[in-house]
Structures are given as structure tokens and as C-alpha cells.
Amino acid sequence: MASWSFGSISMLEPRDWQALKMLLPFVFEFKYRFAFCLLCLVLIQLANLANPYLLGALVDHFADSGANPLAVAATVPVALLLVYVFIRFSGLAISEIQNAVFGTVTVRGTRRLSLVLLKHLHGLDLEYHLSRKTGGLSRDMDRGIHALTGLIRLFTFSLFGMFLSIAGVVGVFIAFFGWSYAVISVVCAVIYAVYTVKVTAWRTPIIRRSNEAHSKAHTRAIDSLINHENVKYFGNEGAETSLYDQELTIWERARARNRYSLAALNIGQSFVVHFGLLFMLGLACYGVVQGEYTPGNLVALNGYALQVFGPLGALGSIYRQLKQAFTDVEAMLDILDTQPTVTAHDNAPPLPDGDGPIEFQGVHFFYKPDRPILKGISFTVNPGEKVALVGPSGGGKSTVGRLLFRFYDVHAGSISINGVDIREVNLDSLRARIGVVPQETTLFNDTLQQNIQYGLLNATKEDIESACRMAHLDSLIGILPDGMDTVVGERGLKLSGGEKQRVAIARTMLKKPTFLLFDEATSSLDSATEASIMHAINEVSEGHTTLMIAHRLSTVIDADRILVLADGEVCESGSHEELLAYGGHYEQLWKLQHREIDHETFQRETAIRFSHAQ
């Protein structure tokens, strides 16, 4: 048995040791419960060792009673039967108590690991989440968490319990039946263990491929459900089903190979067990014929043999479960090994008070080294100033907002707020001071109130109502049958684009930020809705240091200053009138977007008057 233990440990990979280290905090946290459960395990094994002996004594008693079996049966057999049944019941009862006590440990472990993993995922960079698929990620999380908590039970009770059982029976063989039975047990255990380790190592890549295929199929299904609108728009339900079936076919084949390899493993293990059992019972029968053993000894030997080969059979299952658990936990460990590149010093100070300035100084940035996005841009947003950043698509406008919020860090140059480089301040304090209204507002599948209150979880009812009025959302709430209790649907699909943007503005204003960042907040809206939303934006940005990133120039003509970003550089700066008079990039963009300026202005003014009337 010892050789299997050392052999199995040698089979552990560095990632496996990493998984085991994660279990230690749970062991120390519940050390008294672990100690109690181990005591229960010892008592269970002692009860199991007593059962074959008692059963053998019963057989011998009846064999010896001969002439007057009824007289003897009225005394000793009744006592033996009571003791035998009581010990069997005690073993089962203690096992149930152990499972109940230890169940709290595994549940707490699941809870703790889930929290650790979710916290870690929220701490990773935006780039990580953009490159991962939600369906596969959730599947990896679930499998990894359950596998890691399963390792606690496997190592603590299954493996240790199996060792106690076999060691106890081998000790009984040596003490009462002879070395030959102990040798047979140990030899079979070694052969069984070596075969199990070798075949399971061969099966591990098959299991891994099966898991990968399952994750891909699951991811495909989740992606199609998340994008169910697009599926409907293009009538591709059949195509999605076909693609899902292709992934399931790959999984089915991988699963079949997994099953066949498992059958080969089980057959080989069963052969070793039954071959050893044949030798052991053959020796025992020979001993009975020679008069060395009584019939009761033969019954007891058979019981002890089953106690050897029973746990030995469990050994294969335990090892398979261990390898399966380690395989399942690999993806979760990959997640935990991933470290964010955007971090702050442990003792980083909070962002200093003040409403500006925001300064970009010689900022260079790229997503890929061979494609620079920003090439040394420099500009300043003064306190209380509203600065707009415009330019052609792909010019790096939204990247500026992501850098300011520290979704990414600059590769050269610096960004400072209130005179301090944002890389030197506490990350939470920086993000708490910046309110962002994104281009695409995503909402939780919850009530309107919960989505707005997400901006400040402890906000009062008065605060929420004030934020709604600032975003001109109160008129919508007034006509909804359920008012603030209206459920907005998955990603807010039950609301229109303009309504979602109003929710985003209200949520942002409830946050009470010092600085405002509008990242193309009206680019997907029609002219009338755009004008109405712009009216709300202009109101809420009054008195705030504001950076507006826009593609439509009609939304920024009221800005204090407009920066034109082209080819990664700020090529022009000035007011709307100054830039038109300059006759450069801005004028070309304006003419391109506004073929009939007077008509566009008329539409805009009409839309503003309409929004006021509302």
C-alpha cells in the first residue's frame, strides 16, 4: 500500500500541488471538525474489522453445538447476534454523523472558493474579459470549484479511510492467519495501484479533451442565447442548432473514447482483484481441509479478503476521481494564475480632492505593438470645463476614456488628475470619482430602481428621484404601470435605446462623481432622441469637469473646447466656430456629416423644443 501512496504522490504535477495548497486554509479553519471526522473514521474501521470475526464466531458456534443446538442457541448466539448487529449499525450511524459534520466544511469551502474566484475575476483587466467567452468561463468556474472542494473529501476520508482499512486487515492477517495472506494482499495492492496509475495517466488527456469539447459546446449554446435577437433577425436558428450539434458530436466522440478507456481500466482492475481473491480463498480452503482453520475462520477470512479488495476497488475510483478533479481544476487555476496588469501600490493614497485639471502628457498606447493607437497626445481639461474629443472611427477616442478610467495603462507618457499621476493613486478612489456614460448601456435583468440604485447602493429614495429628474427619466417612470418596479429584461432589452441612456445618466449622477466621461453616449440614437438626451447631458454636466467622446459633431458644438483626434494625434483644438473657420479636419468632418447644415440645425432645434414640451 505504501508503494502506491508514494507512487501516486510522484504522479502529482506542480499544478496539482497548487490545488492542494488551496485546501490548507479550510483544514486549519475547521481543524476540530476534521479531528472529529478522523476519529469517526477510525471507529468505523474498527467496527468493520470486528464484523468478520463475530460472523466467524457465530458459524463456529453452530458448528460446535452439534447434539443440542437449541440449548446453545438460547444463550451465546443471541449475544453474538446482538453485538454483531449493533456494531454494524454503529458503523453506519457513525458514518452518517461524519458525513453530516463534514458536509458543512465542503459547503463552506464551495462558498469561500466561489467568492475568491468572483473577486479575482472582477479584479482582472478589461482585456481578459473581452477575450474570454462567458459560457466557457462559467463552466470552468463551476467544474473547478466543485472539483477543488471534492479534493478535500477524497484526500481526507476516501484515501485515508482506504489506507486504514487495508492496513488494518493486513495487520489481522499477520496476527491471526499468517504472512501468506498479508503478502497476497500487498502484492495485489501494488499491482493494482501500478496498473491504475499507468492507465489513468494514459486516460487523463482523453478526459481533458472530453472536458474541452463539453466547454465548447456549452459556450456555443450560451453565446447563441445571449445573441438570440441576432439569431432571430437573420433566421439562423437552424444554423445555430447545427453548430451546436457539431460541437456536441465532437464531445460525444470524446466521451465515447473516455468510456471505452474506463472500461479497459475497470476490467484490468477487476482481474487483479479476483485473481488475488482466488489465491486467498484457495489457501483458506486448503487450510480448512488440513484442519488448520475452522469453518468460522474461512468465513472470517472471506470477510477480511472482501475488506481488502473492496477498498482496493475504491482505490481505482479514488485515483480516477483525483485525476478528474485535478483535470477539472486546471482551468480554474489558469484563471487564478492570471494577474491584472493594471494595479495600484499596496499603500497608494486616494485621489486628491479637487475637480481638475485632467492632463494627458505625451501619451502613447497600443493594443498590439505593430499597431499604435495613440502617438504622444497631450491635452488638458480644466476644472469645470467641458472638452469634447472627436475624430474619425478607429482614431483612438474611446481608448482615451479607457485610459482615463485605468482599464489600461499608458505605454509612455502620463495621465494626471489634480496634479497626481493616476498610476500612483488608489484605483478604487480614482474610479469612484469618475462617472461614465458608455456608448452601449447594459442593464441587469432587474427592476428599474435596482438598476438606477446600482450607482450608489445605499442611496435614499430622495437621491434616486433627484437623479431621475436630472436624467429626465421621471416622465417615463410616470407612464409605466409598475413604475420603478418595472423589470427591464435581459441587458435592458425591454427599454428603448434612449430610455436606457437616461437610466445610465441617472445611475451615473446618483454616483455623485467629480468628473464625467461621456463615451459616444448618443451615437446609436435617432436625431430626436439624441437631442433630448443631449439636453439631459448638458444639464448634468453643468459645473462638472467633463470629457465628451463623440462621433457625431452635432452633439459637441456647445463644448468649451473641441479636440480633433486623427491618426493617434491631436491635430486641432478650439471651439466649434474656431475649428470651422480654421478649415481643417474638423471642417471636413462637419461637411461630411452635415450635407445640409441648415436642415440639420432645424431638426435639432425642433427636437429640443419637443423634449422641452415633454
Element (DSSP H or E) covering residue 562: strand 561-566
For residue 564, what are the β-bridge partners? 390, 572
In whole angstroms, give the CA distance from residue 430 to residue 442: 22
**Core vs surface per residue 484-503: b (16+ CB within 10 A) or e:** bebebeebbeebebbbbbbb
CB neighbour class for 228 (10 Å; exposed up to 12, middle 13-18, buried from 19)? middle
What average pLDDT does the segment 258-284 reach? 84
Predicted confidence (pLDDT) at residue 49 exceeds the cutoff of 70:
yes
Stretch 257-279: mean pLDDT = 84
> What pLDDT, in 10s, does the model give residues 492-539?
778 888 888 888 888 988 888 999 999 887 766 666 667 777 777 888
324 and 377 share a domain? no
Nearest to 83 by CA among 59, 60, 51: 51
Whether residue 6 is contained in a domain is answered as: yes
Q: Once rounded to an integer, what is the mean pLDDT over residues 428-456? A: 88
Query: CA-to-CA distance for 590 and 594, rounded, in angstroms?
Result: 6
Q: Span 332-358, mean pLDDT? A: 86
Q: Are residues 261 and 408 in the same domain?
A: no
How many degrees, rounded to 5, is the angle at CA 76 between CA 75 and CA 81? 110
Please report which confidence band the pLDDT of residue 120 belongs to, taking 50, 70 and 90 as the band edges. confident
Co-location of 331 and 400 in the same domain: no
| Average pLDDT estimate for 302-311 | 77
Q: Mean per-residue pLDDT for 137-141?
A: 75
Give the pLDDT confidence score for residue 26 in this predicted structure: 66
CA distances, 545 to each of 321, 407, 456, 467 (Å): 58, 20, 20, 18
- Of 275, 303, 337, the domain-final residue: 337
Element (H, E) at 355: none
Q: Are residues 130 and 183 in the same domain?
A: yes
pLDDT at 9: 40
* pLDDT tens-place string over residues 539-589: 888 888 999 998 888 888 889 999 999 888 999 999 999 998 888 888 888
Cα–Cα distances in angstroms (integers) from residue 452 to residues 435, 445, 449, 462, in the given order: 13, 12, 5, 13
- Answer whether 20's CB lies under 8 Å from 154's CB: no
DSSP 445-494: SSBHHHHHHTTSTT--HHHHHHHHHHTT-HHHHHHSTTGGG-B--GGGTT
Q: How far apart are CA 6 and CA 12, in angstroms?
A: 10
Domain harbouring 586, CATH code: 3.40.50.300
Specify the range with the lowest mean pLDDT, choosing from 1-15, 363-377, 516-530. Answer: 1-15
Q: Judge if 209 and 264 occupy the same domain.
A: yes
3-state SS, residue 372: strand
For residues 604 and 280, which has the higher predicted lDDT (pLDDT)? 280
Q: Are residues 315 and 368 in the same domain?
A: no
Q: Do the domain assignments include residue 181?
A: yes
**Residues 513 and 544: beta-carbon distance below 8 Å:** yes
Domain extent for 281: 2-337
Q: Cα separations (Å) of 604 from 134, 178, 573, 581?
A: 40, 101, 24, 22
The pLDDT of residue 605 is above 70: no
Q: Is residue 507 part of a domain?
A: no
Is residue 268 situated within a structural domain?
A: yes
Residues 369 and 311 in one domain: no
**Domain membership flag for residue 39:** yes
Residue 105 pLDDT > 80: no
Please give the Cα distance from 68 to 613 (Å, whole number). Answer: 111
Q: Are residues 274 and 331 in the same domain?
A: yes
Q: How far apart are CA 431 and CA 136, in angstroms?
A: 29
pLDDT of 2 above 50 = no
For residue 3, pLDDT beyond 50: no
Query: Considering its fold, how many domains does the chain have in total?
Result: 2
Same domain, 304 and 382: no
**35 or 527, greater pLDDT:** 35
Quote the pLDDT of residue 4.
37
Residue 594 near residue 554 (C-beta atoms within 8 A) = yes
Q: Do 160 and 298 fall within a single domain?
A: yes
Question: Is 18 part of a structural domain of the chain?
Answer: yes
Q: Is pLDDT above 60 for 71?
A: no
Q: In this prediction, what percent of the chain has a pLDDT beyond 70?
A: 86
Whether this model's pTM surpasses 0.75:
no
Domain boundary, last residue among 284, 308, 337? 337
Q: What is the C-alpha to C-alpha distance for residues 68 and 74, in angstroms, rounded to an integer?
A: 11
Q: How confident is the model at residue 85 (pLDDT cuts 50, 70, 90)?
A: confident
357 falls in which pLDDT band (50, 70, 90)?
very high
The answer on 383 and 316 residing in a single domain is no
245 and 198 in a common domain? yes
Reply yes or no on whether the pLDDT at 613 is more than 60.
Answer: no
Statement: residue 604 has pLDDT above 70: no
Question: What is the domain-level CATH number for residue 167?
Answer: 1.20.1560.10
Mean pLDDT of 54-79: 62
Q: What is the pLDDT of residues 234-248, one digit of tens each?
A: 778 888 888 888 888
What DSSP state is assigned to residue 596? S
Q: What was the pLDDT predicted at 376?
A: 93
Domain presence at residue 342: no
Q: Is residue 477 included in any domain, yes or no?
A: no
pLDDT of 351 reads: 93
Q: pLDDT tens, 159-186?
A: 787 788 888 888 888 888 878 888 888 8
Q: Which of 59-63, 178-182, 326-330, 368-372 has the weakest average pLDDT?
A: 59-63
